[in-house]
Amino acid sequence: MNILSPSILSADCARLGEQIHLTEEAGAKYLHIDIMDGAFVPSLSYGLCVVESLRKATNLFFDVHLMVVNPIRYVEHFAEAGADLLTVHLEACEDVAATLDAIHANGMKTGLALKPQTAINELEPYLDKTDMILVMAVNPGFGGQKYIENTTERIREARLLVEKSGLPIDIEVDGGINGKNVRSVMEAGANVIVSGSAIFNGDITENTRTLMKVLEEEEILLSKQEKK
Ligand code: DX5
Ligand code: ZN
C-alpha cells in the first residue's frame, strides 16, 4: 500500500496541530516526525514532549525518524510518548539487532534507515527484524534539500533485496521529494513517501492532494500489473 508521510520539519511549529489536520483531511495516513540530536546530525529539532502533545491532537500513525546516536537509550520513552513506528539509523546503533528487538518489545514497528553513502546490502542481516527500510535521498539533518539522483537506483536495489527475502517490508524514501519526482521513486519501489517542504511551504491542502493523487494512481497501476 502507498502511504504519504508528511514531515513536520517544515511546518509552522506554532500551528502544528492545525497544519497536521490539513494533511490528514487531504489523505495523509502517517506523520513523519524527525528527531535530531546535534551529534548524529548537526542540527537539533524537537523531542519527546512534542510527540506526546501531538499524540493528543491526532490519530495519524506516528512515523518517528530518530537521527540520534545510540538510539536504544530512547526506545521506551518514544513508545510511552505515542510513537507507532521507530526508525533508527544503521550507522548510529551500537547494536542494530538489539535496537530493533527493543523497538518490537515495546510494541512499535521497526524502521532501519541508511544515509546516502551507506551500501544497501548492509541491511541484509537485519531484514527479518525490519518492518520498513528508510532510504535517505539527502544527507540527514535539514529539510528543503535537493534529491540526490542515485537514490532511485538505491531504492531499486532495496526493493530487490526485499523481494528476494519474501518479507513484507515497506520501503520509505525521505528527502527532496516533490510532485516532480514522486512518481519515479514509487516506480523504483518506494511505497512510503516522506515530504516536508513540498507540503508545508505554500498551500498545504493543495500540496498534499497533488502528492496523494500520484500515490493513488500508482496504487491502481500496481494492482492492474499484479492481476496480469
Ligand atoms: C531530513 C529529514 C527529512 C526532511 C524532509 O534529515 O529526515 O524528513 O524533513 O524534508 P524535505 O521533504 O523538505 O526534504
Ligand atoms: Zn526524516
Express each pLDDT in 107-117 by its tens digit: 999 999 999 99
* pLDDT recorded at residue 226: 84
Counting ligands in written order, the one closest to the CA of 147 is 1
Residues 176, 150: contact at Cβ < 8 Å?
Answer: no
Residue 144 CB neighbours (<10 A): 14
> Is 63 in the active site?
no
Task: Report the chain (228 residues): mean pLDDT per 10 consecutive residues.
Answer: 97 97 98 98 97 97 98 98 98 98 99 98 98 98 97 98 98 98 97 98 98 96 85
Of residues 190, 218, 205, the one with CA closest to residue 28:
205
Q: What is the pLDDT of residue 223?
A: 87
Locus of grid cell 516536508: 196
Q: Which DSSP symbol is given to 42? A: S
- Kindly give the distance from the C-alpha atom of residue 9 to the centroid of ligand 2, in angstroms, as a whole number: 8
Beta carbon of 111 within 6 Å of any ligand 1 atom: no
Summarised one tens digit per residue, pLDDT across range 84-97 is 999 999 999 999 99
Q: Is 145 in the pocket of ligand 1 (CB under 6 A)?
A: yes
Ligand 1 binding pocket includes 7 (Cβ within 6 Å): yes
Helices 48-57 and 16-25, axial angle in degrees (round to 10): 50
Q: Which of 8, 9, 43 to mutate to test the pocket of ligand 1 (most atoms within 8 A of CB)?
A: 9
Rounded CA-CA distance 174/194 in Å is: 5
- H or E element, residue 224: helix 204-227
Q: Determine the distance separating the centroid of ligand 1 and the alpha carbon of 121, expressed in angstroms.
A: 23
- Ranges assigned E (strand) in 68-200: 85-89, 109-114, 132-136, 170-174, 192-195
Q: Which three cell numbers stand for residue 196?
A: 516536508
Ligand 1 pocket, residue 71 CB under 6 Å: no
From 34, 37, 131, 170, active-site residue: 34
Output the pLDDT for position 177.
98
Task: Please report the pLDDT score of residue 222 as a whole number.
Answer: 86
Helix axes 204-227, 16-25, angle to 10 degrees: 40
Distance 125 CA to ligand 2 centre (A): 23
Q: Catalytic site residue 34?
A: yes
Taking CA atoms, 174 is separated from 105, 115, 140, in Å, by 26, 10, 9
Distance 225 CA to ligand 1 centre (A): 31
